[in-house]
Copies of this chain bind each other. A is one copy, B any other.
């Protein structure tokens, strides 16, 4: 039931091991971070033989539980220099489950001049297939080639041309239910880590025959329906059903935390042009392939995703999410959804994270390489990324390196990872979370914004951030979509019951939270062992010295406070 498939990328040897510990039952980040901590030396070169890449599905993967199929990918991050778990929706997790796998490990590394390989995992065997045909191609084309060869229902993970060049802001693209590799584990440069092992794609064939077993199938079915009910009843997740994550634009604009002009401002005049209603209306008006209420995985009762169509109703980009709307939109003073969707599409094709590269383009605009608000210039910069020009490589290295090379002090990142779409001087809760995440600035980790009475005040934010760090991490811990958290934040038993009905293993809320906290301790310890100190968990000095104009706020969180928020 709990098998790990170990794949040596230098010798092409493979080995299947069976886990004999319940610690690994939960899968997800619980598993990936423990694997990284146990098997990857913290100080190793992320692109060397000693780093490993772990792909872990969750405890309920392969069942019919809504939103249970996030794939956690773990390794040492080149972007942050610390531990990384990045997760994505799509169909890879379920394909792994159908092959009886809870974890796939890519280990070792061949010489840098070795040829590209595709790893193909099927019920009979694991094969290394020549991957040169994919080299240099965009993710969309790679995706088509993979679908053509391995079937539209194969679970594929591939990388873009930027990752092939070992650039830091590159992700892993996982196939969605339509066979398109559009579901990104975008953060932390794990795309480049896979490239360093000369694996250009990982394919799990749709020939798996392992079916989930249940200790109590009837109870499991009832419990599954309960999750759907909870999701439907919850006002936040149900709002996402209609509008998707773009609903955050108006909220953030109202709270003055909408990243604008390279995180110099928290309000953008004209933000309504890129808000949820605008997006909804545009998609509905254009029709064609456009779609709201779209699911990144099956089954899902939230369906927060979308398909954004061009003027002719043809698919332009799917999905277009709030984080991208902010980082590649307001942060660049762009007020046009078509431009944002175009940037998003090029980013997906190039294989880069939209947040890190959006932030890098913001830095480039501040450096004077283009005007803020210039849609054509923004697209031209993204094309440089896709074309791998020197400037494109700078941008695909993320905003920290871009700021160094372009001479910009106001670099919006923590631990090298770009700040997500909530301007931190205006929300000290989110700021505390950014400073507390072992992964670098991260919006899925400890989302306080909806629960801050006075967002600009740091009062009580250590406790608030920790509360939501735990709530968010519970989802990652077992491979659930982060948006399920709204429905179970006060009562995890509906999910833990499902674990019990499936595996016959009783985990109390307290035991579960102890596992989650232990994961955080393990992750922070890895970072410490990697040479990351308390002094690294800081914003750029400009955030502390220059007030965000709309709120009049500077960053005022001290090292001591953020250290408390990292202590578990």
A404 in contact with B168 given A531-B533, A535-B531, A536-B531 (CB within 8 Å) = yes
Per DSSP, are chain A's interface residues mostly helix, strand or loop, or mixed? loop
A112 touches which of B168, B394, B409 (Cβ 8 Å): B409
Contacts of A44 in B (CB 8 A): 541
CB distance from A260 to the nearest CB of B (A): 19
Does any Cβ of B come within 8 Å of A228's Cβ? no
CB distance from A372 to the nearest CB of B (A): 15
Interface digits, A396-417 against B, CB 8 Å rule (1 contact, 0 not)? Answer: 0100010011110100000000
Does any Cβ of B come within 8 Å of A1's Cβ? no
Contacts of A533 in B (CB 8 A): 531, 533
Contacts of A50 in B (CB 8 A): 541
**Count of A residues near B, CB < 8 Å?**
37
Does any Cβ of B come within 8 Å of A545's Cβ? yes
Interchain CA distance A535-B82 in the complex, whole Å: 13
Contacts of A454 in B (CB 8 A): none
Residue from A112, A167, A389, A535 with most neighbouring chain B CB atoms (10 Å): A535
Interchain CA distance A276-B397 in the complex, whole Å: 41
Does any Cβ of B come within 8 Å of A551's Cβ? no
Contacts of A404 in B (CB 8 A): 78, 168, 397, 401
Q: Give residues 509-543 of A contacting B (CB, 8 Å).
A: 530-531, 533-536, 538, 540-542
**In the bound complex, do residue B536 and residue A409 qualify as a contact, i.e. CB atoms below 8 Å apart?**
no
**In the bound complex, do residue B406 and residue A393 qualify as a contact, i.e. CB atoms below 8 Å apart?**
yes
Interchain CA distance A361-B323 in the complex, whole Å: 37
Contacts of A401 in B (CB 8 A): 401, 404-405
Interchain CA distance A549-B33 in the complex, whole Å: 38
How many subunits of this chain does the assembly comprise? 2
Contacts of A394 in B (CB 8 A): 390, 393-394, 405
Does any Cβ of B come within 8 Å of A451's Cβ? no
**In the bound complex, do residue B405 and residue A397 qualify as a contact, i.e. CB atoms below 8 Å apart?**
yes
**In the bound complex, do residue B48 and residue A541 qualify as a contact, i.e. CB atoms below 8 Å apart?**
yes
Interface digits, A376-402 against B, CB 8 Å rule (1 contact, 0 not)? Answer: 000000000000011101100100010
Interchain CA distance A394-B409 in the complex, whole Å: 17
Interchain CA distance A397-B530 in the complex, whole Å: 24
**In the bound complex, do residue A167 and residue B390 qualify as a contact, i.e. CB atoms below 8 Å apart?**
no
CB distance from A362 to the nearest CB of B (A): 16
Residue from A394, A401, A405 with most neighbouring chain B CB atoms (10 Å): A405
Does any Cβ of B come within 8 Å of A286's Cβ? no
Interchain CA distance A230-B454 in the complex, whole Å: 73
Contacts of A167 in B (CB 8 A): 405, 407
Contacts of A289 in B (CB 8 A): none
Interchain CA distance A78-B409 in the complex, whole Å: 11
Interchain CA distance A45-B411 in the complex, whole Å: 11
Interchain CA distance A391-B393 in the complex, whole Å: 9
Contacts of A542 in B (CB 8 A): 45, 48
8 interchain pairs (CB within 8 A)?
A44-B541, A48-B409, A49-B545, A167-B407, A390-B391, A393-B394, A393-B406, A530-B535
Measured CB to CB, the residues of A under 8 A from B are 43-45, 47-50, 78, 112, 165-168, 192, 389-391, 393-394, 397, 401, 404-407, 409, 530-531, 533-536, 538, 540-542, 545
